[in-house]
Amino acid sequence: MVHRIAVIPGDNIGPEVVAEGLKVLRRLQALGFGPFAYDEYPWGAGYYLKTGAPMPADGLDTIRDCDAILFGAHGDPQRVPDRVSSQGLMHKLRKGFQQYVNLRPVRLLPGVVSPLRGKDEIDFVVVRENTEGEYSGMGGRLHAGTPYELATQTTVITRIGAERVMRFAFDLARQRGGKKRAAAATKSNALSHVFGLWDEVLAEVANDYPDVECHKFHIDAFTVHLINRPEWFDVIVASNLFGDILSDEGAALAGSLGMAPSANLDPTRRHPSLFEPIHGSAPDIAGQGIANPVATILAVRMLLDWLGEAEAARRVQAAVEAVLAEGQVRTRDLGGRSTTAQLGDAICARLEAV
Ligand code: NAI
Ligand code: MG
């Protein structure tokens, strides 16, 4: 059966790294996996400059029936305010398709050096709530342009929203079968209403998983624990903002933002899920051909897993690890001089024999 993939390359380095992800999929198809079919959509900040919106009003319906979405990165902050492409594209996709889990694996790969001295065992997953919380989008401005101007943006935690993402995290801790440890981020000491409910739901969910350790840290202390003892963590579950922060921190601990993939999942599979690198559109290095494509290629790996292409996914992971461990082909963020395409080519060349 053909896997139909909606491809949204985005802006700046988005298309550069997505090209390498597609290269990997095409190579896999040549090796007998798939087949894959692609529909490309030029949405993002550039599309906004041409049409006045980062995607068409019926954009969600256009791609609703695809099997998965491969996304590069959006944003052109010099010319388009970030909130335009973020609210008008990213958040529409995540909320509109009920992609309530943002899954961000953090693993220090062989041959890559963590900025933390002496740490070589980093392997955890951040499960970030992706549809509500601090990024609910609810709020507004009043008395704009006057001295009385005010702004509000409401944090929304629902029982259903917290429970479903926590259950996903505890199930994942079971599946991973390692430390079986869930660590939740909270801030119920200061944000007592919303994170009070979050903590209550956590206690209830934890009760149903006696075989999974449950821990809870306030977000400020959490960021410190993650630096001091990254090897202790297994599955992290967090609200939208806290999960955003912890996964960027995790990506940095694992060597580079250019290495960290993510998946925006609708675990019910009623809507398509979206796979992307964690990083943004990196306008500072766009057009130079030096962006690290590994985050996008590992996002392709997550996409393959989601589509049930387990052997193809395994090969992608193994090929990436082999090339990084060898250390011959590296982009600048990893201390090398190779181009985006050279690293993509090196990974493709390994797919056959791993
Ligand atoms: P960024 O992630 O684009 O860049 C941060 C730093 O990391 C930059 O120095 C960049 O050169 C470097 N970097 C990022 N990806 C890299 C890669 N693959 N290889 C090597 N180096 C890499 O974050 P920033 O600068 O805050 O945002 C730039 C634009 O991206 C903004 O418009 C922002 O809104 C957007 N953005 C989009 C996201 C998305 O599409 N999901 C996520 C985050 C930001
Ligand atoms: Mg982020």
Domain boundary assignment for the chain: 1-100+259-354, 114-254
Q: Please report which confidence band the pLDDT of residue 118 belongs to, taking 50, 70 and 90 as the band edges.
A: confident
Is pLDDT above 90 for 1? no
C-alpha 7/C-alpha 24 separation (Å) is 14
Q: What is the pLDDT of residues 178-209, one digit of tens each?
A: 999 999 999 999 999 999 999 999 999 999 99
Give the mean pLDDT of 329-353: 96
> How do beta strands 181-186 and 150-153 pair?
unpaired
Q: What is the pLDDT of residues 262-319, one digit of tens each?
A: 999 999 999 999 999 999 999 999 999 999 999 999 999 999 999 999 999 999 999 9
Give the mean pLDDT of 151-167: 98
Torsion of CA 321, 322, 327, 333, to 10 degrees: -30
- List residues, by chain if needed, whose CB lies under 5 Å from ion ligand 2: 244
CATH of domain 1-100+259-354: 3.40.718.10
Is pLDDT above 90 for 256? no
Percent of the chain at pLDDT exceeding 90: 92
| Catalytic machinery residues | 135, 187, 220, 244, 248
Ligand 1 within 6 A of 280 CB?
yes
On whether the pTM is more than 0.85, the answer is: yes
Is pLDDT above 90 for 255? no
C-alpha 139/C-alpha 300 separation (Å) is 35
Q: What is the pLDDT of residues 65-106, one digit of tens each?
A: 999 999 999 999 999 999 898 889 998 999 899 999 999 999
pLDDT of res. 163: 98
Is pLDDT above 90 for 323? yes
Secondary element (H or E) of residue 174: helix 159-176
According to CATH, the topology of domain 114-254 is Isopropylmalate Dehydrogenase (3.40.718)
Give the mean pLDDT of 41-57: 97
Is pLDDT above 90 for 110? no
C-alpha 131/C-alpha 162 separation (Å) is 10
Which of 281, 331, 333 most suits a substitution to test ligand 1, by most atoms within 8 Å of the C-beta? 281
